[in-house]
């Protein structure tokens, strides 16, 4: 079987041409799939019967099946099964005027951040393009929600799977695909310098938002927290970010998970401000109060501590926001549902 959401329009046109059909038929199929959310080839009534039969015998639009979903007033978490029996998490976050989908890019993660539930299993495998795109298609179908924002902040390190992530982004932002605005797609990375360089050189990837998890402004502490982040020093990372091609008024987000008694001191806030230095217009900081993971020895700082940290950055002219991510707050950070063996463990937290 071939997975349709893993194809670009051009590739699918070629495929159909090779089977003796006119290439514009590919545009029609994509229109059904992406604009109307129709996965069943039999229902694509403007296609000739022969093509519908060929599609049904060789292709499928679906690579994920829903295992369970957990609903909260402002968000919903989905656990999907892949064809090879793995599990993938996706979170829909409902904000006042829009919805954001938090997608996974890998099963597990090799970076091994000490505080992260996804790191517990190590890396199982990369997600395929169709498995990334299908997270969007499935959640849209299940919820009937209009989803305009996509963030790669679920399980995995997107830049360690850059080829499949790039193609998924192409499908998300192309007219013939899901037609999202480039400005509404965000790739969050733990800071792979070579990956960020590839993004900078890629006309498609450099147009989407870049968020980078800093988590500590001190080299040694950072490598303790994010142990397999061996690539490049913090200084090299900041250099790379300071030269990243940015359109006017666009900013790179620096993400900072606040861990009580660990990286939440005034010294940390000041050192973070120094890392940014004079490039204040280029960056904004998102402070993410830690969401405790069972069995991991970290806690969320008090509100007072969080606001003091924010204040220190504001006082130095740095746009800083506290992101009590709704999905994260309700369900635990991405990776937690998969990591827990049972539904009950999560709902009792």
Q: What Rg do the C-alpha atoms of the chain give, in angstroms? A: 21
Residue 132 binding partner per list ligand SF4, ligand SAH, none, with a CB distance cut-off of 5 to 8 Å that depends on partner kind: none
Task: Determine whether 240 is an active site residue.
Answer: no
Nearer to ligand SAH, 116 or 171 (CB): 116
CA distances in angstroms from 26 to 7, 11, 18, 246, 345, listed in the order given: 10, 9, 12, 34, 45
Which residue reads 């959310």 in tokens? Answer: 37
Nearer to ligand SF4, 160 or 171 (CB): 160
Q: Rounding to the nearest 10 degrees, give the CA dihedral for residues 150, 154, 157, 158.
A: -20
Q: Which is nearer to ligand SAH, 129 or 213 (CB)?
A: 213
Catalytically annotated residue among 89, 157, 240, 255 = 89
User: Pick from ligand SAH, ligand SF4, none: which does 331 bind, CB < 5 to 8 A by kind?
Assistant: none
Q: Report, in Å, the least distance between residue 115 CB and ligand SAH.
A: 6
Q: Which of 2, 69, 85, 4 is nearest to 39 (CA)?
A: 4
Total residues contacting ligand SF4 by CB under 6 A comes to 11
CA distances from 76 to 150, 187, 328, 329, 337 (A): 14, 21, 10, 11, 12
Which of 102, 109, 113, 334 is an active site residue? 334
Task: Read off the DSSP letter of residue 128.
Answer: P
- Residue 99 touches which member of ligand SF4, ligand SAH, none, C-beta under 5-8 Å by kind: none
**Residue 119's binding partner, choosing from ligand SF4, ligand SAH, none, with beta-carbon cut-off 5 to 8 A by kind?**
ligand SF4
Answer for which of 113, 133, 147, 193 binds ligand SF4 (CB under 6 A) is 113
User: Contact between 64 and ligand SF4 (CB under 6 A)?
Assistant: no
Q: Are 166 and 174 a contacting pair, CB within 8 Å?
A: no
Binding-residue pattern over the window 145 to 184 for ligand SF4, x denoting contact by CB under 6 A: -----------xx---------------------------
Q: What distance in Å separates the CA atoms of residue 111 and residue 48, rounded to the nearest whole number?
A: 49
Nearer to ligand SF4, 215 or 320 (CB): 215
Q: Which of 47, 51, 64, 116 binds ligand SF4 (CB under 6 A)?
A: 116
Binding mask 66-105 for ligand SF4 (x = CB under 6 A): ----------------------------------------
Give pairs for 90-94: CB < 8 Å, separation 24+.
90/135, 90/138, 90/139, 90/154, 91/154, 91/327, 91/331, 91/334, 92/139, 92/143, 92/145, 92/147, 92/327, 93/325, 93/326, 93/327, 94/145, 94/326
User: Dihedral of CA 191/197/200/202: which sign?
Assistant: negative
Q: Could you tell me the smallest distance in angstroms from the CB atom of residue 293 to ligand SF4?
A: 10
Interface residues toward ligand SAH, by CB under 6 A = 115-116, 153, 157, 188-190, 213, 215, 255, 257, 288, 290-291, 293, 328, 333
CA atoms of 172 and 238, how far apart (whole Å): 28
In this structure, how many other beta carbons lie within 10 angstroms of the beta carbon of residue 109?
A: 27
Would you call 89 a catalytic residue per the annotation? yes
* Chain residues in the site for ligand SF4 (CB under 6 A): 109, 111-113, 116, 118-119, 156-157, 190, 226
Task: Cite the active site residues.
Answer: 89, 334
């Amino acid at each position: 079987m071939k997975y349709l959401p893993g194809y670009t329009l051009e590739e699918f046109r070629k495929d159909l041409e090779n089977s003796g059909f006119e290439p514009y038929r590919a545009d029609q199929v994509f229109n059904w799939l992406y604009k109307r959310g129709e996965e069943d080839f039999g229902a694509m009534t403007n296609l000739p019967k022969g093509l519908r039969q060929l599609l049904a015998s060789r292709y499928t639009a679906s690579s994920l099946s829903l295992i369970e979903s957990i609903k909260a007033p402002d968000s919903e978490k989905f656990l999907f099964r892949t064809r090879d029996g793995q599990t993938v998490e996706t979170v829909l976050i409902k904000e006042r005027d829009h919805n954001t989908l938090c997608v996974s890019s890998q099963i597990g993660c090799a970076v091994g951040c000490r505080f992260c539930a996804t790191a517990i299993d190590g890396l199982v495998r990369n997600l395929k393009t169709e498995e990334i795109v299908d997270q969007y298609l499935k959640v849209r179908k299940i919820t009937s929600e209009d989803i305009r924002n996509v963030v790669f902040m679920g399980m995995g390190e997107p830049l360690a799977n850059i080829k499949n992530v790039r193609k998924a982004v192409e499908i998300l932002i192309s007219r013939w695909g899901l037609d999202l605005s480039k400005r509404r797609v965000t790739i969050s990375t733990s800071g792979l310098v070579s990956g960020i360089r590839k993004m900078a050189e890629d006309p498609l990837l450099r147009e989407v938002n870049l968020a980078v998890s800093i988590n500590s402004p001190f080299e040694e502490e950072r490598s303790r927290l994010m142990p397999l982040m061996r690539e490049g020093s913090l200084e090299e990372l900041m250099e790379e970010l300071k030269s990243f091609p940015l359109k006017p008024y666009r900013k790179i987000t620096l993400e900072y998970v606040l861990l009580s008694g660990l990286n939440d001191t005034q010294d940390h806030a000041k050192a973070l401000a120094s890392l940014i230095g004079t490039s204040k217009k280029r960056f904004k900081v998102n402070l993410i109060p830690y969401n405790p993971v069972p069995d991991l020895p970290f806690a969320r700082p008090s509100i007072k501590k969080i606001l003091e940290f924010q204040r220190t950055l504001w006082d130095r002219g740095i746009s800083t926001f506290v992101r009590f991510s709704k999905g994260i707050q309700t369900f635990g950070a991405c990776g937690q549902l998969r990591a827990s063996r049972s539904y009950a463990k999560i709902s009792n937290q």
